[in-house]
């Protein structure tokens, strides 16, 4: 059975009707374009086209929207649902611009045979680029429908109006449904850039908290996730890998393995090995037996020591990020500090999973990857198939927050299915495999030197950040585990940083504040001790933590309010507005100390200096004997441009805030010289119910008519910074190296 | 071995090795989707179901130990057309991001409401402690439980009055 929340109308059914039966061609994307729509900012083509970035390679309207004779719209997006609610928000955008009720609109997400290739669903780009493209496409369709309706209603186009019900009405009250009009119309025409959009004052769907489409199924046990899919004849596989990356495992002989009861097939290619069974539990059981074999580290030892020790000893490439020099008054105060964060796990609650089936020379892969077109590229490359023989379909998985094992498991499943044609193969990684092998969020270090003059103006800002890659997303077989393991291995590519303005380790390293002197440098470490790739907000997390911590350290040294110091150095009106709105809602100006071990803190950033603005305020208390922090109140203010679904925005910001508190106070991948030693939820604890804030509120600033700005990653940096600032306020001790764990706090506070 | 158990009120008979976790039988043999594999270690609660009315980790419950016992999964609480009170409360509060943890959350919470229809915030948090959510949906989950509790309270109130 297929997941119920993916769309029920299949393409065949859909095209079976009359209506808009048109050629559906999707030009292939060059890999340069694919990379541009990934974690980096698209470059666009400037003056040659005014179409939004995602529309440029797919300008034909029928690549995005079709309307059947019954007047129902089907919308196609290359973006995918990751639990962030994007499917619902995109459907709202389309419904608004088509001026139709949302229930008459359905949406098809990431499918290499059906949707435009919009690159990754990542980097908070989905609304900003995907939403903007879809919105214009829908506005074009509405205009075409209206134009075609005029002769049908025997009237002038100018007097016609859409009703919001999927009909077009003439001044005399007669009306015609979209279905009837669409049946006469081809949408295989190119989008125009200058089509009028619907205006906020008349919005019917956008700006409303439409309930999420996928929640009813998820709370009642429908087939909602790839993990739930069952295909006829489906086999269950488990990959056999050493406990962690960088290690190899000694396996018994093939004959011995093949004699194991319950085994259907043993698939091996070089260092890649997997067991396949009719019953899932047999696969798990056999996998466990095989894991009892000896494992050892392949290459040199993992360096140990502090994060700074480890990172600063590694070869780095230096990139200047920002250099500003102006004459200023003499400095009177000088502060310097080093901040750090450890390696983090994405920690998806459901380990990565994929299903693949090889049939008649064609491979189908169901995957929860953020880059479904890359899943196809990787598999085609790995198996030496042409891309048109590989069909990749996105199906939801557990929240991933970046590149977890999704792409690896998809390639694993493809390799296994390719060896066993005729039957679909389902592969789910085990919890310990996800912890041991997924790419991690990179450990990072920053060093800041800042000076104030006698008027409390910041006159010097020297900033250095060291980081391994935050983007090793695969676009071919050389980016996945299976590619490195097969006999004819695909050696991993040279890692390169994402250029500014998006940046990766450098993301948000250039302060948004107006500072007269800045010297910001990024030291990119191409090869860290662990595999690392994108995790929610990339390097912005530590960069914002560092900048916002230093602002508080400066304010403290100067004896002024941290908000005042920020506002004194901020000229962007929207940034100021977010800080002030948050402060007002929180009651920042009227806050009162409530005794020892109680305090307040704030943190601000505009994500990437391009996305949403977010300011977080926290009130905390600390129990010095245990080092436990209770967040009494958390209040976030955000400005993410035009808001499509306010509740969706609040859900994302609230979730990001809790996740950031978890990173900041609990999480760190532990390791020894041989391997990662975090392999479960006790060796990698995250926040539980008892630890989350007592109160959380999110204020979303209304920005009618402004462009969409992605919001999903906006609260990561500000929250961790606000926590460290609140902790310093509460205890007088400045903690600069995450995690600010109970143990670390207890040791430091017991002395006070 | 052959095991006969009552799942969501219906007698089901399955054949599996006795060490097979109940989770795998529910998902693979009985084709019930709700209980999820999260860790297989009793650390996350994604697999939570009720065994004889008590919340258990189905990933740690061997099928051999369920002979003639009552199992309730999320599917047993209601359907999309007719969601149970707690399920409806989760919809009303939009208490999910990815939703992978949610089946386990609802079953854990249901076991609290079954025993105490009017729990305090502190009781809810304490009771929900075994279940992990990575998306940070905790507050919405707490609100959904309180909403369901309020509905139960008003229903009982009506019951008393009539
Ligand atoms: S899957 Fe059972 S507790 Fe995690
Ligand atoms: S909603 Fe995603 S893990 Fe809870």
In this predicted model, what pLDDT tens digit does every residue of A167-186 receive, in sequence order? 999 999 999 999 999 999 99
In short, whether B56's Cβ falls inside 6 Å of ligand 1 is no
Spacing, Cα A400 to ligand 2 middle (Å): 10
Per-residue DSSP letter, A458: E
Q: What is the pLDDT of residue A710?
A: 86
User: How far from each other are the two terminal CA atoms of chain B, in whole angstroms?
Assistant: 50
Query: Where along chain A do its domains lie?
Result: 11-212, 226-298+348-437, 532-749
Q: Which of residues 195-214 of A touch B (CB under 8 A)?
A: 209, 211-212, 214
Residue A345 near residue A438, CB atoms below 8 Å: yes
Distance between CA A89 and CA A590 in Å, rounded? Answer: 37
Domains and CATH numbers, chain B: 2-76 (3.10.20.30), 85-161 (1.10.150.120)
Q: What is the pLDDT of residue A42?
A: 61
Query: Per-residue pLDDT for B5 more than 90?
Result: yes
Spacing, Cα A69 to ligand 1 middle (Å): 47
Select A226-298+348-437's CATH number: 3.30.70.260, 1.10.3720.10, 3.30.365.10, 3.10.20.30. Answer: 3.30.365.10
In short, whether A349's Cβ falls inside 6 Å of ligand 2 is yes
Spacing, Cα A311 to ligand 2 middle (Å): 33
User: Strand A628-639 relative to strand A695-700: parallel, antiparallel, unpaired?
Assistant: parallel
pLDDT (tens digit per residue) in A543-596: 999 999 999 999 999 999 999 999 999 999 999 999 999 999 999 999 998 989
Helix axes A716-731, A540-558, angle to 10 degrees: 30
Distance between CA B47 and CA B36 in Å, rounded? Answer: 5
Contact B94 A647 (CB under 8 A): yes
Share of chain A above pLDDT 90, in %: 88
Distance between CA A596 and CA A384 in Å, rounded? Answer: 65
Q: What is the pLDDT of residue A14?
A: 30
Chain B contact probe: residue of A209, A217, A219, A720 with most B CBs at under 10 A: A219
CATH (residue range A11-212): 3.30.365.10
Give the angle A574-A577-A582 at the CA atoms, nearest 5°. 130
Query: Per-residue pLDDT for A25 more than 50?
Result: no
Classify each residue of A604-615 as buried b or exposed e, where b means 16 or more C-beta atoms within 10 Å of its C-beta.
bbbbbbbbbbbb
Closest CA to A137 of A168, A169, A98: A98
Strand partners, A600: A619
pTM for this prediction: 0.93
Query: Per-residue pLDDT for B1 more than 60?
Result: yes
Query: Per-residue pLDDT for A146 more than 80?
Result: yes
In short, whether B132's Cβ falls inside 6 Å of ligand 1 is no
Select A532-749's CATH number: 3.30.200.20, 3.40.190.10, 3.90.25.10, 3.30.365.10. Answer: 3.30.365.10
Please report which confidence band the pLDDT of residue A124 belongs to, taking 50, 70 and 90 as the band edges. confident
Cβ-based contacts of B17 with chain A (< 8 Å): 281
- The residue of chain A with its CA nearest to that of B106 is A219
Spacing, Cα A349 to ligand 2 middle (Å): 7
Chain B contact probe: residue of A4, A121, A218 with most B CBs at under 10 A: A218
ipTM score of complex: 0.96
Q: What is the pLDDT of residue B158?
A: 62
Q: Least CB-CB distance to B100: which of A209, A399, A654?
A: A399
SS3 content of chain A, % helix, strand, coil (to 5): 30, 20, 45
pLDDT (tens digit per residue) in A275-327: 999 999 999 999 999 999 999 999 899 999 999 999 999 999 999 999 999 99
Residue B94 region by backbone torsions, left for phi larger than 0, else alpha for psi between -120 and 50, else beta: left
Cβ-based contacts of B95 with chain A (< 8 Å): 215
For B103, phi then psi, to 5°, come to: -60, -45
Q: What is the pLDDT of residue A84?
A: 81
Cβ-based contacts of B63 with chain A (< 8 Å): none
Closest CA to A353 of A338, A321, A375, A331: A375
Q: Least CB-CB distance to A350: which of B46, B95, B106?
A: B46
In terms of Cβ atoms closer than 10 Å to its own Cβ (0-12, 13-18, 19+), residue A693 is buried
Contact B36 A350 (CB under 8 A): yes
Distance between CA A146 and CA A125 in Å, rounded? Answer: 31
Residue A603 near residue A548, CB atoms below 8 Å: yes
Distance between CA A94 and CA A205 in Å, rounded? Answer: 9
Spacing, Cα B60 to ligand 1 middle (Å): 8
Query: Per-residue pLDDT for A46 more than 50?
Result: no
DSSP count for chain B of H helices, then E strands: 5, 5
Distance between CA A573 and CA A273 in Å, rounded? Answer: 57
In short, whether B100's Cβ falls inside 6 Å of ligand 2 is yes
Cβ-based contacts of B83 with chain A (< 8 Å): 216, 219-220
**CA-CA-CA-CA torsion for A719, A724, A725, A730, nearest 10 degrees?**
120
Query: Per-residue pLDDT for A21 more than 90?
Result: no
Q: Which atom of ligand 1 is nearest to B43's Cα?
A: 3
Q: Does A430 touch chain B (CB under 8 A)?
A: yes
Q: Least CB-CB distance to A84: which of B41, B75, B97?
A: B97
Residue length of chain A: 752
Cβ-based contacts of A687 with chain B (< 8 Å): 138
Q: Does B120 touch chain A (CB under 8 A)?
A: no
Distance between CA A178 and CA A71 in Å, rounded? Answer: 5
A11-212 and A226-298+348-437: identical CATH topology: yes
In short, whether B135's Cβ falls inside 6 Å of ligand 2 is yes
């Amino acid at each position: 059975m297929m997941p119920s929340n993916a769309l029920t109308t299949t393409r065949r059914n859909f095209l079976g009707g009359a209506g808009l039966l048109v050629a559906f061609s999707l030009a292939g994307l060059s890999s340069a374009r694919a990379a541009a729509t990934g974690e980096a900012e698209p470059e666009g083509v400037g003056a040659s086209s005014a179409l939004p970035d995602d529309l440029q390679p797919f300008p034909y309207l029928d690549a995005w929207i079709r309307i059947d004779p019954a007047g129902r719209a089907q919308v196609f997006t290359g973006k995918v649902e990751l639990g962030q609610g994007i499917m619902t928000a995109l459907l709202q955008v389309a419904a608004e611009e088509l001026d139709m009720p949302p229930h008459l609109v359905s949406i098809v997400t990431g499918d290499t045979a059906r949707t435009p290739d919009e690159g990754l669903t990542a980097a908070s780009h989905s609304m900003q680029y995907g939403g903007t493209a879809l919105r214009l496409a829908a506005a074009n369709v509405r205009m075409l429908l209206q134009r075609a309706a005029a002769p049908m209603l025997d009237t002038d186009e100018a007097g016609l109006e859409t009703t919001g019900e999927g009909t077009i009405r003439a001044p005399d009250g007669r009306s015609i449904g979209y279905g009837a009009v669409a049946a006469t119309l081809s949408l295989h025409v190119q989008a125009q850039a200058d089509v009028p959009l619907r205006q906020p004052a008349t919005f019917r769907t956008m700006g409303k908290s439409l309930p999420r489409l996928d929640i009813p199924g998820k709370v009642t046990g429908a087939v909602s996730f790839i993990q739930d899919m069952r295909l006829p004849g489906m086999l269950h596989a488990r990959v056999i890998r050493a406990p962690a990356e960088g290690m190899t495992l000694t396996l018994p002989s093939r004959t011995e393995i093949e004699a194991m009861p319950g085994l259907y097939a043993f698939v091996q290619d070089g260092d890649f090995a997997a067991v396949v069974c009719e019953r899932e539990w047999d696969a798990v059981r056999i996998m466990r037996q095989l894991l009892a074999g000896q494992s050892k580290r392949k290459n040199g030892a993992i360096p140990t020591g502090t994060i700074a020790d480890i990172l600063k000893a590694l070869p780095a490439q230096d990139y200047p990020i920002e250099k500003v020099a102006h004459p200023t008054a003499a400095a009177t105060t000088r502060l310097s500090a080093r901040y750090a964060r450890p390696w983090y796990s994405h920690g998806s609650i459901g380990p990565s999973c994929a299903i693949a089936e090889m049939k008649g020379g064609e491979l189908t892969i169901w995957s929860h990857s953020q880059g479904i077109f890359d899943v196809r590229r990787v598999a085609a490359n790995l198996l030496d198939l042409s891309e048109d023989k590989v069909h990749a379909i996105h199906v939801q998985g557990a929240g991933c927050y970046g590149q977890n094992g999704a792409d690896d498991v998809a390639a694993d499943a493809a390799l296994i299915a390719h060896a066993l044609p005729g039957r679909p193969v389902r592969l789910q990684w085990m919890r310990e495999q996800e912890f041991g092998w997924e790419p991690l969020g990179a450990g990072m270090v920053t060093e800041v030197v800042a000076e104030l003059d006698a008027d409390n103006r910041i006159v010097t800002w020297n900033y250095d950040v060291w980081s391994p890659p935050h983007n090793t997303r695969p676009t071919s077989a050389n980016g996945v585990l299976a590619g490195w393991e097969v006999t004819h291995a695909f050696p991993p590519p040279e890692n390169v940083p994402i250029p500014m303005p998006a940046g990766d380790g450098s993301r948000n390293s250039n302060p948004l504040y107006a500072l007269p002197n800045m010297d910001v440098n990024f030291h990119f470490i191409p090869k860290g001790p662990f595999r690392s790739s994108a995790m929610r907000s990339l390097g912005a997390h530590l960069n914002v933590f560092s900048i916002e911590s230093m602002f508080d350290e400066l304010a403290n040294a100067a004896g002024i309010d941290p908000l005042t110091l920020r506002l004194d150095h901020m000229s962007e009106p929207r940034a100021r507005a977010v800080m002030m709105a948050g402060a007002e809602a929180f009651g920042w100006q009227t806050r009162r100390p409530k005794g020892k071990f109680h305090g307040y803190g704030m943190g601000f950033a505009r994500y990437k200096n391009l996305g949403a603005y977010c300011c977080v305020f926290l009130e905390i208390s600390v129990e010095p004997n245990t080092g436990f922090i209770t967040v009494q109140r958390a209040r976030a203010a955000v400005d993410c441009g035009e808001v499509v679904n306010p509740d969706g925005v609040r859900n994302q910001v609230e979730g990001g805030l809790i996740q950031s508190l978890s990173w900041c106070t609990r999480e760190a991948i532990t390791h020894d010289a041989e391997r990662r030693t975090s392999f479960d939820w006790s060796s990698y604890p995250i926040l539980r119910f008892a630890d989350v804030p007592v109160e959380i509120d999110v204020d979303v600033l209304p920005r009618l008519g402004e462009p969409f700005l992605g919001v999903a990653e906006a609260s990561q940096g500000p929250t961790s910074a606000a926590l460290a600032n609140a902790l310093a306020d509460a205890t007088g001790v400045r903690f600069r190296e995450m995690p600010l764990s109970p143990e670390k706090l207890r040791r430091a506070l017991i002395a006070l | 071995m052959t095991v006969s158990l009552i799942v969501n009120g219906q007698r089901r008979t399955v054949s599996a090795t006795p060490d097979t976790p109940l989770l795998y039988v529910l998902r693979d043999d009985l084709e019930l989707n709700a209980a999820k594999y999260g860790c297989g270690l009793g650390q996350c609660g994604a697999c939570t179901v009720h065994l004889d009315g008590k919340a258990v980790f189905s990933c740690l419950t061997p099928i051999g130990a369920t002979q003639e016992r009552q199992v309730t999964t999320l599917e047993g609480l209601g359907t999309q057309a007719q969601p149970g009170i707690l399920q409806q409360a989760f919809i009303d509060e939009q208490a999910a991001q990815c939703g992978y943890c949610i089946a386990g959350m609802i079953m854990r919470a249901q076991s609290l409401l079954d025993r105490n229809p009017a729990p305090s915030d502190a009781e809810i948090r304490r009771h929900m402690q075994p279940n992990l959510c990575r998306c940070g949906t905790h507050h919405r989950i707490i609100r959904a439980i309180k909403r369901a509790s309020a509905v139960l309270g008003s229903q009982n109130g009506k019951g008393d009055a009539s």
